[in-house]
Amino acid sequence: MNTSIGKYLFLTASFIFWLFLALFSSRLIVDNLNSGYHYSNIVFNLHYLKNSGAAFSLLQNAREFLIIVSIVATTFLFMYVHNHIRNIHLISISFIALLSAGIMSNCHERIVLGYVRDYIQLNFINFPIFNVADIFITIGVIALVVILCFYKGK
């Protein structure tokens, strides 16, 4: 799939898939936790927390600012794909879609709910509670940094 149209379709389909997965998993997990379901193992437990800030609870109650930053970041990511559509590889498009979906999933929750639903708490390290969208953002950023550092020009 080296055509530009195919790459745009791949970006769109991937973005929609990851966005749906992040939003659906948050709703499913939070609904179950609110219904009394509890889960815990040696690695993590599920604990529902309303986060009105960003990662590590930074920028608490800066909802509008975080919404704007999310929309601008996603716009820049999509513009990057558009401006490099002829040369960008599908693996890069995959991780841009994953990163964008994570950003927009959290943005959607900020717009609709006024906060982000966090629910994954690691048991083996003192780390802030996070959600599936945060995992997508982390994987997307790390993968894109690796691609930029090691595969640039190949």
Furthest-apart CA atoms within the chain: distance in Å:
52
| Amino acid residing at 9 | L
Which residues, other chains included, contact 101 with Cβ-Cβ below 8 Å and sequence gap of 6+? 14, 15, 16, 17, 18, 19, 21, 22, 133, 136
Calculate the CA 28 to chain-centre distance.
17
> What's the Rg (C-alpha) of the chain?
17
CB 122 within 8 A of CB 44: yes
Catalytic sites, residue numbers: 118, 134
